[in-house]
């Protein structure tokens, strides 16, 4: 047994890990696929948030899919051989791979105090493990889209074409929002955004976002200035400049959803927002979305979501995979385990 742990800033290791006992309320899962998240990379850079670790190494991995291998006698609704995804937020005081005592970048994960359809969810038939492992980031994206009040006929711009931004494009389109602009610093990621259904892409630092929004969404009148006819702004990159653009460009009642993590305070010109009655909200996790995400994955089929995964690594090469993910120029990096 092995586990990916963070021991300090820039110090990520693949450590030996003894098998854990499965208690009467626990479930053991053989991990088959697990994505590397931007949160994992942040823990590596900062040395990890050792909540509940007593100063010890921080286990990583929370985007996991696998097969149930052992079920505690008091666990209802779970059977050996069941194909499942893990809900890392199933226990808010012990979030898997995000400060908790367990991480899913391991051959076998033991979940404690399991409740079916809270701790874990069954994977729809026909969905392979690598696609199922996208459920967690797609859940983050779905919650952000739900917070945007998206509906047919609205227009949107998404900042950031990483896995969360690409997921936002997927769910916006399924909500009936087809006129979507995506901006990013990476041409490779913008190509992925077009593959997933973006109507227009903007290369940050080169292209003019304001001109692109006017061209794509038209121009509407607001008090004192014309504005792009963009209804929804989704910040999936944690970009202060995008928040500033929203305040500067937003039409009346435009709405910004911040789902990307901002590492420093962002200044807001409240005075500039008064005449347009702009709305700003935030989004975190997937409080209720995972069942809908899995249903959507099953309906769309694996081929529709496969482009989001741009790199696959064996678990033996997981440290190399972290280097690939840290480039932040492609889509999702997924670790696949031996069958």
**260 and 173 in one domain?**
yes
**271 and 294 in one domain?**
no
- At residue 50, the pLDDT reads 54
**144 and 253 in one domain?**
yes
Domain end (from 255, 282, 309): 282
Q: Is the pLDDT of residue 20 over 90?
A: no
**319 and 273 in one domain?**
no
Q: What is the pLDDT of residues 204-261, one digit of tens each?
A: 999 999 999 999 999 999 998 999 999 999 999 999 999 999 999 999 999 999 999 9
User: What CATH number is attached to the domain comprising 297?
Assistant: 3.90.180.10
**53 and 10 in one domain?**
yes
**113 and 192 in one domain?**
no
CB 202 within 8 A of CB 181: yes
- At residue 52, the pLDDT reads 42
- Domain around 267: 137-282
Cite the beta strand spans of the chain per DSSP E: 2-8, 11-16, 27-36, 58-59, 63-71, 83-86, 108-111, 120-122, 155-159, 179-184, 200-203, 219-222, 225-228, 232-235, 255-258, 279-282, 309-314, 332-336
**144 and 277 in one domain?**
yes
Q: How does DSSP classify residue 88?
A: T
Confidence band (pLDDT; 50, 70, 90) for 331?
A: very high
**129 and 56 in one domain?**
yes
Q: 269: closest CA among 252, 249, 255?
A: 249
Total domain count for the chain? 2
Confidence band (pLDDT; 50, 70, 90) for 324?
A: very high
User: What CATH number is attached to the domain comprising 172?
Assistant: 3.40.50.720
**127 and 32 in one domain?**
yes
Confidence band (pLDDT; 50, 70, 90) for 19?
A: confident
**319 and 261 in one domain?**
no
**115 and 16 in one domain?**
yes
Domain end (from 282, 306, 324): 282
- At residue 51, the pLDDT reads 45
Confidence band (pLDDT; 50, 70, 90) for 49?
A: low
- This prediction has a pTM of 0.95
Q: What is the pLDDT of residues 58-78, one digit of tens each?
A: 999 999 999 999 999 999 999
**124 and 170 in one domain?**
no
């Amino acid at each position: 047994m092995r586990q990916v742990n963070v021991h300090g800033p820039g110090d990520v290791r693949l450590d030996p890990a003894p098998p854990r006992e499965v208690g009467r309320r626990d479930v053991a899962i053989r991990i088959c696929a697990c994505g590397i998240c931007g949160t994992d990379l942040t823990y590596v850079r900062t040395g990890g948030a050792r909540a509940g670790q007593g100063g010890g190494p921080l286990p990583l991995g929370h985007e996991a899919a696998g097969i149930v291998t052992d079920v505690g006698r008091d666990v209802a609704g779970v059977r050996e051989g069941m194909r499942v995804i893990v809900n890392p937020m199933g226990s808010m005081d012990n979030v898997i791979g995000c400060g908790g005592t367990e991480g899913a970048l391991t051959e076998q994960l033991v979940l404690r105090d399991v409740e079916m359809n809270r701790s874990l969810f069954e994977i729809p038939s026909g969905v392979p493990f690598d696609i199922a492992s996208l459920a967690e980031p797609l859940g983050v994206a779905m919650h952000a889209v739900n917070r945007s009040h998206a509906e047919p006929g609205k227009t949107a711009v998404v900042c950031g074409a990483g896995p969360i931004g690409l997921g936002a494009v997927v769910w916006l389109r399924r909500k009936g929002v087809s006129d979507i602009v995506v901006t990013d610093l990476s041409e490779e990621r913008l190509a992925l955004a077009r593959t997933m259904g973006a109507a227009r892409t903007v290369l940050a630092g080169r292209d003019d976002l304001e001109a692109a929004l006017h061209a794509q969404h038209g121009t509407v009148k607001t008090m004192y200035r014309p504005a792009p006819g963009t209804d929804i702004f989704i910040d999936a990159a944690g970009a202060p400049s995008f928040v500033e653009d929203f305040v500067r460009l937003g039409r009346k009642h435009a709405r910004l959803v911040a789902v990307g993590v901002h590492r420093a305070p962002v200044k807001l010109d409240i005075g500039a927002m008064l005449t347009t009655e702009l709305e700003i909200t935030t989004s975190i996790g997937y409080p209720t979305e995972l069942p809908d995400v899995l249903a959507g994955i099953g309906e769309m089929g694996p081929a529709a979501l496969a482009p989001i995964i741009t790199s696959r690594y064996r678990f033996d090469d997981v440290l190399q995979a972290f280097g690939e993910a840290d480039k932040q120029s492609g889509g999702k990096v997924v670790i696949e385990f031996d069958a």
